[in-house]
């Protein structure tokens, strides 16, 4: 049974056309990449995590992370922090950006974040998590037009403390309208295999939609997760890096549209990958300047060219590119026909 796997979704009072999300990913999901994913069919996008403390200190780096891309009809800002007061104050500072949802990070395993009691450390203190959600939800109601608040969590701190079900219940009681679950523990980091059974348990148990995250590298993985877990939406993270085409492929697959010659999904050509990467570079250069964009895009170009024939040698050169012209000349030698 594959019908209705691509479906509209309501989160609080927000209506989405479909259930394919771009997951929050610090260092990757800037407004430029989000805008490319929206063009490819992402129905909801998230900023990477933004520090509530830094926002309240008006650190300029944090504010730069908050802007909506021109084509983003709906986007969520993800905040992290451990103090209900500071999180509420940070939520108030989002008013000028008009986000469509605020997402609270309860999954980041980085010690710099967890040491302050934030990220996945929130799962060790569900009472504080509850206070944070209630405080942010209150600001969302009074200052932000009633937008929904969501929480993204892991399975738990470690194998001995798997408590996603308890944390999700607490979160929903405090006002969360969506729970996103990346079913690995903090100790697992990003290694091993995510435990989709946890997503299925949660989807069966809580009264709000669940978005599933973890090991979604192909369109087929998205279909498998929706079928296996009954989650309402899927969130692509590493599977979208250098591959925003995954949204169109997933939508086609979930709608039962076949590719050429009956193939389940259509792979983008090398030419399309490279021209999309160059478009991303040019867009980013317009927002942060050519030099910074060129440096930040090195890892992104490596992702876009992964798997192409002879691309390993190309990547050893891409990581030295400093200007748009550098990228163009390297790629011109690699695939001459597409750049003329
Ligand atoms: C480089 C990187 C940065 C990430 N940054 C964030 C983040 O800012 N906030 C967050 O909630 N999750 C973050 N994540 C986790 C992803 O959203 C996702 O849950 C996780 O990668 C599992 O999905 P995947 O196995 O399909 O990649 C990040 C993951 C990666 C690989």
- The CATH number of residue 217's host domain is 3.20.20.70
In terms of domains, do 83 and 204 share one?
A: yes
In terms of domains, do 229 and 254 share one?
A: yes
In terms of domains, do 103 and 131 share one?
A: yes
CA 56 to chain CA centroid, nearest Å: 23
Domain that holds residue 76: 9-262
Q: How far is the CA of 28 from the centre of ligand 1 (A)?
A: 9
* Residue 108 known to be catalytic: yes
**Residue (of 206, 208, 93) closest to 140 by Cα position:** 93
CATH code for the domain of 280: 1.10.1200.80
In terms of domains, do 240 and 326 share one?
A: no
Q: Residues 58, 60, 62, CA angle at the centre, nearest 5°?
A: 85
Q: How far is the CA of 144 from the centre of ligand 1 (A)?
A: 26
Q: Taking each helix axis from N to C terminus, what angle separates 311-318 and 324-334, rounded to the nearest 10 degrees?
A: 170
Phi, psi of 190 (to 5 degrees): -115, 15
Total structural domains in the chain?
2
Task: Split the chain (340 residues) into runs of 10 and give each run's mean pLDDT.
Answer: 82 98 97 97 98 92 90 97 98 97 98 97 98 98 98 98 98 98 97 97 98 98 98 98 97 84 72 95 95 96 91 91 95 67
User: What is 55-119 written as a DSSP string?
Assistant: HHTT-HHHHHT-PPPTT-SSEEEEEE-S-HHHHHHHHHTTGGG--SEEEEEE----HHHHTTT-G
In terms of domains, do 195 and 331 share one?
A: no
Q: How far is the CA of 96 from the centre of ligand 1 (A)?
A: 26
Residue 249 included in any domain: yes
In terms of domains, do 316 and 180 share one?
A: no
Phi, psi of 17 (to 5 degrees): -70, -30
State the distance between the two ends of the chain, measured CA to CA, in whole angstroms: 46
215 in contact with ligand 1, CB cutoff 6 A: yes
Which of 262, 285, 303 lies at the terminal end of a domain, its last residue?
262
Contacts of residue 317, defined as CB under 8 A and 6 or more positions apart, other chains included, come to: 330
Phi, psi of 10 (to 5 degrees): -115, 125
In terms of domains, do 166 and 19 share one?
A: yes
**Rounded-to-integer distance, Cα 155 and Cα 136, Å:** 23
Which of 228, 262, 296 lies at the terminal end of a domain, its last residue?
262
In terms of domains, do 212 and 287 share one?
A: no
Pairing of strands 75-80, 44-51: parallel
In terms of domains, do 74 and 218 share one?
A: yes
Residue 4 included in any domain: no
In terms of domains, do 253 and 300 share one?
A: no
**Rounded-to-integer distance, Cα 227 and Cα 230, Å:** 6
Q: Of the residues 20, 21, 22, 23, which should be mutated to test ligand 1's pocket, given the most ligand atoms within 8 Å of the CB?
A: 23
Nearest residue CA, atom 28 of ligand 1?
25
Q: How far is the CA of 118 from the centre of ligand 1 (A)?
A: 16
Nearest residue CA, atom 29 of ligand 1?
25
Residue whose token pair is 């040019």: 282
Nearest residue CA, atom 18 of ligand 1?
237
Residue 1 included in any domain: no
**Rounded-to-integer distance, Cα 213 and Cα 207, Å:** 19
Residue 328 included in any domain: yes
In terms of domains, do 310 and 217 share one?
A: no
Give 87-92's long-range contacts (Cβ < 8 A, gap of 24+): 87/52, 87/132, 87/135, 87/136, 88/135, 88/136, 88/138, 88/139, 89/52, 89/56, 90/50, 90/52, 90/53, 90/55, 90/56, 91/135, 91/136, 91/139, 91/140, 91/143, 91/144, 92/139, 92/143
Residue 224 included in any domain: yes
What pLDDT does 138 receive? 98
Residue 2 included in any domain: no
Residue 200 included in any domain: yes
What pLDDT does 340 receive? 46
Residue 199 included in any domain: yes
339 in contact with ligand 1, CB cutoff 6 A: no
50 in contact with ligand 1, CB cutoff 6 A: no
**Residue (of 192, 33, 24, 193) closest to 113 by Cα position:** 24
Which of 202, 236, 262 lies at the terminal end of a domain, its last residue?
262
In terms of domains, do 18 and 155 share one?
A: yes
Q: Which pTM was predicted?
A: 0.95
Q: How many CA atoms are closer than 13 Å to the CA of 231, on its beta-carbon side?
A: 31
């Amino acid at each position: 049974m594959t019908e209705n796997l691509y479906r509209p979704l309501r989160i609080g009072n927000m209506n989405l056309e479909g259930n394919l999300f771009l997951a929050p990913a610090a260092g990757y999901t800037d407004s430029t990449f989000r805008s490319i994913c929206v063009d490819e069919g992402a129905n909801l996008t998230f900023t990477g995590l933004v520090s509530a403390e830094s926002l309240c200190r008006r650190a300029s780096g944090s504010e730069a992370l908050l802007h909506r891309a021109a084509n983003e009809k709906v986007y969520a800002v993800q905040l992290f922090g451990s103090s209900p007061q500071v999180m509420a104050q940070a939520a108030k500072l989002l008013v000028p950006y008009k986000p469509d949802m605020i997402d609270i990070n309860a999954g980041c395993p980085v010690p710099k974040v967890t040491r302050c009691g934030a990220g996945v450390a929130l799962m060790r203190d569900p009472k504080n998590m509850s206070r944070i959600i209630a405080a942010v939800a209150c600001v969302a109601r009074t200052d932000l037009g009633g937008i929904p608040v969501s929480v993204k969590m892991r399975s738990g701190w470690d194998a001995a403390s798997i408590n996603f079900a308890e944390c999700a219940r607490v979160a929903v009681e405090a006002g969360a309208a969506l729970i996103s679950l990346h079913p690995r523990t903090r100790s697992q980091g990003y290694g091993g295999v995510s435990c989709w059974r946890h997503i299925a348990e949660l989807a069966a148990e809580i009264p709000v939609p669940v978005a599933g995250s973890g090991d979604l590298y192909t369109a087929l993985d998205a279909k498998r997760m929706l079928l296996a877990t009954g989650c309402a939406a899927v969130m692509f993270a590493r599977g979208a890096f250098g591959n925003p085409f995954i949204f169109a492929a997933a939508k086609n697959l979930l709608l039962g549209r076949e590719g050429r010659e009956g193939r389940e999904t259509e792979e983008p050509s090398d030419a399309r990958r490279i021209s999309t990467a160059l478009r991303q570079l040019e867009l980013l250069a317009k927002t942060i300047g050519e030099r910074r964009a060129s440096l930040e895009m090195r890892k992104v170009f490596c992702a876009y060219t992964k798997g192409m024939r002879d691309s390993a040698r190309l990547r050893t050169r891409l990581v030295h590119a400093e200007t748009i012209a550098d990228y163009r000349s390297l790629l011109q030698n690699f695939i001459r026909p597409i750049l003329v």
